[in-house]
Amino acid sequence: MEKQHIYITRKIPNELLQPYQEQFHFSMWEKESEPVPREVLLEKVEHVAGILCLLTDQIDEEVFNKAKHLQLVANMAVGYDNIDVEAAKARQVVVTNTPDVLTETTADLTFALLMATARRIVEANEFIKKDEWKDWSPFLLAGSDIHHQTIGIVGMGRIGEAVARRAKGFGMNILYYNRSRKMEAEQELDATYVSFEKLLTEADFVVCLTPLTSDTHQIFNKQAFEKMKQSAIFINASRGMTMDEQALYEALKAGEIKAAGLDVFATEPIRASHPLLELDNVVCLPHIGSASVATRENMIKLCLENLSSYFKGHGAKTPVE
């Protein structure tokens, strides 16, 4: 069988590629911490049959027009809003993602972000580092309880359900809003399906885990934040464009909501001058939801398994719809 050419848009460990060396010719961008420049990407994909890319790589009409021999794009993420799926379909290019392998890890991070924001963990750490801890007082860095509070999960997919399981362990009341009801999740987790508006008005913690679509683009806007409790905490571990960052900033600044924990932003990476970083009641992370060593390796392995299975004639393992 003729070896297919695969381009990888970021440096990954050679030991992960080794099992596939007899099947593929690999080339890759040799920097781990810098994205491949657009002009390099367009040049490198011209003769490849497959691309293994990251969510930061825009695989759009221009790329597909250059990649005349392209058959499969393996995206190292669950979400695939960085890929023009319609353009791929028009050219019969298969697009795959990495579901399941990152579910529990991302849920861990989401709940850790919720806890850190609620209990002001980062702020407390900085308090000591700045040598400001001079005494103890009854309300020193007092935060919000998590146990037995109401969590509202927007987007009850695999990760949403995993976060709900963690919330159940804290005795939380679980509300969720999703494009369709999840009866099994309701029975297993004692979760209650509600409208988006009811979730906003009743939840103590509003957690965004929805995919980015035309329907969810800036679903968290000025009106949404106005509906939340003044004591509510907003957590976003999905995609940055699901929220209006300016509206969030204004809601936090005005005290319309209590705090926010964010792992995602509209434009990434953000700089230290980003307005949200001015606020003490915001915890910001650099999009590390799935960032454990084991999970990131499993994501890469699934991308490679998709490529291998497809080119062996067995079909991709996890094609997107």
Residue 75 CA to its chain's centroid (Å)? 13
Question: 12-21: long-range contacts at Cβ-Cβ below 8 A with a sequence spacing of 24 or more?
Answer: 12/52, 12/300, 13/297, 16/297, 16/300, 16/301, 16/304, 17/304, 19/304, 20/304, 20/307, 20/308
Q: Is the peptide bond before 269 cis (omega within 30 degrees of 0)?
A: yes
Work out the percent of the chain whose per-residue pLDDT is above 90: 98
Token digits of residue 159: 């990760």
| pLDDT-based confidence at residue 1 (cuts at 50, 70, 90) | low
Is residue 269 very low, low, confident or very high in pLDDT (cuts 50, 70, 90)? very high
Residues 133, 134, 136, 140, CA torsion sign:
negative
List the domain boundaries for the chain: 4-100+293-311, 103-284
| pLDDT given at position 321 | 79
Across 122-149, average pLDDT? 97
Of the chain, the percentage scoring pLDDT greater than 70 comes to 100
Average pLDDT over residues 47-67: 97
pLDDT category, 76, cuts 50, 70, 90? very high
120 catalytic residue (yes or no) = no
Distance, in Å, from the CA atom of 258 to the CA atom of 254, rounded to the nearest integer, reads 9
Catalytic residue, from 30, 43, 197, 268: name it. Answer: 268
Q: Residue 205 belongs to what H/E stretch?
A: strand 205-208
- Pair 93, 74: CB distance under 8 Å: no
- Arithmetic mean of pLDDT, 30-43: 94
In the set 239, 245, 296, 305, the catalytic residue is 239
CATH class of residue range 103-284: alpha beta
pLDDT > 90? residue 154:
yes
- Residue 239 a catalytic site member: yes
Burial code of 59-80, b = ≥16 C-beta within 10 A, e = fewer? beeebbebbeebbbbbbbbbbb
Mean local confidence (pLDDT), 193-217: 97
Other Cβ atoms less than 10 A from the Cβ of 37: the count is: 11
Q: Which of 10, 120, 287, 296 is catalytic?
A: 287
pLDDT in tens, 293-303: 999 999 999 99
- Residue 5 among the catalytic residues: no
pLDDT (tens digit per residue) in 9-26: 999 999 999 999 999 999
**How far, in Å, CA of 95 to CA of 83, rounded?**
8
pLDDT at 175: 98
Which residue, chain included where needed, has tokens 């972000």? 113
Domain 4-100+293-311 in CATH 3.40.50.460? The answer is no
Residue 112 burial (C-beta neighbours within 10 Å; 0-12, 13-18, 19+): middle
